[in-house]
Structure 1
Amino acid sequence: MLPSLVPFLSLLVSTLLMMVGFGLQSYVVPVRAVAEGWSTQTITWIATGYTLGFTASCVITPKFVLAVGHVRVFVALITLLSIAILLCSLVVDWRGWMLFRGMSGFAIAGSYLIIESWLNERVTNDNRASVFSLYVMTTMVGSVGGQYLVPLGDPTNTSLFILCAIIFSIALLPTALTSSPLPAPPTRARFDVLKLYRRSPVAVVGAFIAGALSGAWLSLGGVFTQRIGLTTAQGATLLAALLVGSTLAQIPIGRASDRMDRRIVMVVCGAVGVAASLAMITVQGSSPSLLYVVAALVGSVLFPIYALNVAHANDLAQPDEYVEVSSGMMIVYGVGTISGPLMVGPVMDRFGPTSLFAVFAIYFALYGGYAGWRIMRRDAATGMVGKTDYQAMPVQPLGAEAAAALQADTADEELIADTTTPKWSNP
């Protein structure tokens, strides 16, 4: 296995370092915002800037890659990450932070797209599952590791912001100096959301709700930990527990969905999400250890549900439509991430931090309930060309399928089908 991973090591090392910086900035920014005395509504507007930039990048970054290539755009985006976090340390004003976080969102989404399209093009049938499972683990380890850097410094001064910029800069080196072959230049990137909705309403609605959930948590999870009185170390552990739960649940959820109607798994995930979210409200104020366990249970469905919807959408697509389908799902997910903080922030301001999970319970109920309703409306479909396999995805899932939008359009249909879905289940 190890020799087959050698061509990807420099890219995976860059990914690890980038995610360490991402994990650090994702926690230090809300912690500093709370320390500044900004309201949850104000922090929500800052988070909205991030999600707007994230979504815009899904459309714009492929055009940049088309113009100058993967490596130049990757270097530019990581540099933009460093600049954005340094600006946050220099200009401590929520309006400026909204702009700077928008820069960060744009850069991180574009970096995901480039990394995943690069991996997607270079994997083979023999190492696909190994490479992508290692990639998902790399993103999780990096994110968790970055969050644990926060207790080592003081968020009220510039030290952690500078450290974050240094980590982003170091992340450039492995990829910038690699001698591995570069991905082929892209020739198109397209999406058609209305066509996608007509074909698979449950996939589109589910992707939007999944985006709202993840956007709300990634933007306001740090605020939640501060407002309920956890220390920075305890808050980092809670955020890490949720990520670990998400990572560990991806394989069993994927295997189950590969063997039955995926909508049934969506219903179950919705029910688990409702129960876990209500449990978080109940145990708030209990021992931190109990909070960590329940947070892991929330995480077990919070992030993996998006991959369920992508897999379901691809079940109903032809092989040459996988790129178009995944690009559309990526946009819907991005719009969902914008709506999440805007919906949840005012509720947290009025009803307190635990209302975050009350809203989560509603979202999960809508997610599972809509899937159940669609089961009654339409029989299970095995797909127009056969059922695809579930693909595990990282914390902010763009997915290798979506990243295929950056790949060359010269491949034939069989190649596209073969390079868009790493398989958890046996062939």
Structure 2
Amino acid sequence: MHFDSVRLVTVKTARRDQMLQVLKSSWALLLGMLLLMIGNGLQGTLLGVRGGIEGFSPFTMSIIMSAYFVGFLGGSRMAPDLIRRVGHVRVFAALASLVSAVLILYPVITEPAAWALGRVVIGFCFSGVYVTAESWLNNSATNENRGKALSLYMIVQMAGIVTAQGMLAMGDPSGYVLFVISSVAVSISFAPILLSISPTPAFDTTKPMSLRELYRMSPLGCVGMFLMGGVFSAQFGMSAVFGTEAGMSIGQISTFVSTIFIGALIMQYPIGWVSDRMDRRVLIMGISLVGGVGAVLGFIFEQNFPLLLAAAFLLGGMANPLYALLIAYTNDFLEHEDMAAASGGLIFINGLGAITGPLIIGWLMGQIGPGGFFLFLAGLMFALAGYAIYRMTQRAALPTQETGSYMPVSPSASPVVVELAQEMFIETALEEEGNALTND
């Protein structure tokens, strides 16, 4: 008993030291990313509110919101080539400066076509900025603290989005100030990153696995990632549009959007812990059903704000961890050398879903009102649960001791962080295999 207590204290001390090591080596990068996420989170919600003020229809706003994911998907595929040609520092500074400029132009040119073009540019630039910054994060982490760096980075991302929603309630979305604040947050994010990061890491990306081969290895992983793309883009792009159409105040909209991402942050780790101890298909089915029920509750209690917040927490808390859970499930059927290659295909599939999601929601909201937002999300979540049940009849479950570990990954992450998570899967699996051989 005494030996177990000493070992527990030693493990906790080691984990604390690893976290402090990550903070010491990456604080500037994490601070810069926090500011970037504040700028990005604020501009998305702010446009949703301002679009309603300008009289844009829900479908028009859905096109504008979808444009971000078109740019993001294109940027995630082109940014690596830009970095290899001109280097991390130039790519980061150029793209972040362009983001800042577009944010200032939004309130100047209040035309749907201009906003859609701006969203394409913003999505492309943010994707490149994430790839660049996350390359530095990966380079500054060691094998011992890479998991802690990944967790801390995800927390910073969510904290930035939630902070942005609080800032929305402090200004007038019909004016210029909030757009300026968003632009300033992005602009000053360069300073801690570019002034404190010295060596630029070597950059290389893995050639993606073909989509056909990826689907053959994990049909549920592929279908699930496509459906989750629609869910995440709805949460990130259309939740403020829903709030505007439902007649919420600015404070209520910011609270509503924040609640979605707070739920995502709180539920990520409990769901991850459970996923390492049971058949992941059952868990995917279960949390998809719970998330679908949350969406139905949001549809029913659209005018009851406290219950609407409960529905938002439930939906966000179930839907967002599914992204990392589906990656973990897909990895269970891949060889170690294929995991990094699979990440590119999974991100591409998720991006396709993210592009189509807002368009369908915008059309539904135009047909049946604001409730179309939750109705669409419920349909996606129940569809994933149903497909998980179907897949259980097609393939036997893997023993839990043969599955890999869950790694927290945000749906807004670039291919660099997804590949970083894949590296952690591989390292953890090899370590567990080594321990098993030693015990034998």
TM-score (norm: length of structure 2): 0.89
Q: Distance in 1 between matches of 2:124 and 2:319?
A: 22
The equivalences for 1:178-193 within 5 A come to 178-186=196-204, 188-193=206-211
- Which residue number corresponds to residue 244 of structure 1? 262
How far has the Cα of 1:321 moved from its partner? 1.5
Q: Please state whether the residue corresponding to 1:126 is helix, strand or coil.
A: coil
Change (3 A) 1:82 1:99: same
Q: Please state whether the residue corresponding to 1:177 is helix, strand or coil.
A: helix
Q: Distance in 2 between matches of 1:150 and 1:330?
A: 30
One of 57, 71, 94 as aligned partner of 1:53: 71
- Which residue number corresponds to residue 6 of structure 2? none
- Which residue number corresponds to residue 148 of structure 2? 130
The answer on whether the counterparts of 1:48 and 1:338 sit within 8 Å (CA) in structure 2 is yes
Q: Deviations over 1:25-75 (max 9, x none)?
A: 111111110100010011111112111101111211111122222232222
The answer on whether the counterparts of 2:292 and 2:378 sit within 8 Å (CA) in structure 1 is yes
Larger radius of gyration: 2
Does 2:353 match 1:344? no
Change (3 A) 1:84 1:382: farther
Greater Cα offset, 313-322 or 366-375 = 313-322
Change (3 A) 1:303 1:197: same
Partner AA of 2:126 in structure 1: I
Change (3 A) 1:416 1:356: closer
Q: Which aligned segments of 4 or more residues in structure 1 are displaced greater than 6 angstroms?
A: 413-416, 419-423
Greater Cα offset, 153-162 or 232-241 = 153-162
- Which residue number corresponds to residue 88 of structure 2? 70
Change (3 A) 1:366 1:422: farther
How far has the Cα of 1:366 moved from its partner? 0.6
CA RMSD of aligned residues (A): 2.5
Does 2:344 match 1:335? no
Does 2:321 match 1:304? yes
One of 256, 263, 280 as aligned partner of 2:274: 256
Paired residues in the alignment total 416
The equivalences for 1:104-123 within 5 A come to 104-123=122-141
The equivalences for 1:250-399 within 5 A come to 250-286=268-304, 288-381=305-398, 386-394=402-410, 396-398=412-414
Greater Cα offset, 3-12 or 236-245 = 3-12
How far has the Cα of 1:283 moved from its partner? 1.7
Partner AA of 1:216 in structure 2: A
Q: Please state whether the residue corresponding to 2:106 is helix, strand or coil.
A: helix
Q: Please state whether the residue corresponding to 1:155 is helix, strand or coil.
A: coil
Q: Distance in 2 between matches of 1:337 and 1:179?
A: 32
- Which residue number corresponds to residue 410 of structure 1? none
Does 2:38 match 1:29? no
The equivalences for 1:129-278 within 5 A come to 129-186=147-204, 188-278=206-296
Change (3 A) 1:361 1:300: same
TM-score (norm: length of structure 1): 0.91
How far has the Cα of 1:228 moved from its partner? 1.3
Q: Distance in 2 between matches of 1:301 and 1:120?
A: 27
The answer on whether the counterparts of 1:400 and 1:421 sit within 8 Å (CA) in structure 2 is no
Q: Deviations over 1:113-137 (max 9, x none)?
A: 3333332333234322322221111
Q: Distance in 1 between matches of 2:22 and 2:65?
A: 39
- Which residue number corresponds to residue 105 of structure 2? 87
How far has the Cα of 1:419 moved from its partner? 8.9
- Which residue number corresponds to residue 10 of structure 2? none
How far has the Cα of 1:394 moved from its partner? 2.7
Q: Distance in 2 between matches of 1:119 and 1:136?
A: 12
The answer on whether the counterparts of 1:89 and 1:161 sit within 8 Å (CA) in structure 2 is yes
Partner AA of 1:41 in structure 2: F
How far has the Cα of 1:102 moved from its partner? 0.6
- Which residue number corresponds to residue 408 of structure 1? none
Q: Please state whether the residue corresponding to 1:184 is helix, strand or coil.
A: coil
The answer on whether the counterparts of 1:54 and 1:105 sit within 8 Å (CA) in structure 2 is yes
The answer on whether the counterparts of 2:80 and 2:205 sit within 8 Å (CA) in structure 1 is no
The answer on whether the counterparts of 1:243 and 1:299 sit within 8 Å (CA) in structure 2 is yes
Structure 1 unpaired stretches of 5+: 406-412
The answer on whether the counterparts of 1:323 and 1:401 sit within 8 Å (CA) in structure 2 is no
Change (3 A) 1:421 1:79: farther
